[in-house]
Amino acid sequence: MPILSRRIAMLGFVAMPAARALAQGAGPVRIRGSVVALEGNVLSVATRSGDRLSVTLAENATVSALRRVALADITPGTALGVVAEPGPDGTLRATAITVLPPGARITELQIPWDTGENASMNNGPVEAAVDSAAGRDLTLSILGRRVVVRVAADTPLLMPIPASRSDLVAGATVFINAARGADGRISTSRVIVSKDGVAPVI
Task: Please spell the DSSP secondary structure of 19-82, one letter per residue.
Answer: --TT--SSEEEEEEEEEEEEETTEEEEEETTS-EEEEEEEEEEEEEEEEE--GGG--TT-EEEE
Say whether pLDDT at 163 is over 60. yes
Q: What is the pTM of this model?
A: 0.84
Say whether pLDDT at 151 is over 70. yes
Class of domain 8-12+23-66+160-193: mainly beta
CB of 127 closer than 8 Å to CB of 140: yes
Instruction: For the chain, give the percent of residues with pLDDT over 90.
Output: 82
pLDDT in tens, 127-146: 999 998 888 999 999 999 99
* 3-class SS letters over 162-195: ECCHHHCCCCCEEEEEEEECCCCCEEEEEEEECE
Mean per-residue pLDDT for 171-184?
97
Confidence of residue 26 (pLDDT cuts 50, 70, 90): confident
Task: Give the residue range(s) of CATH 2.40.50.140 domains in the chain.
Answer: 8-12+23-66+160-193
Strands 120-132 and 173-180: unpaired
**10: helix, strand or coil:** helix
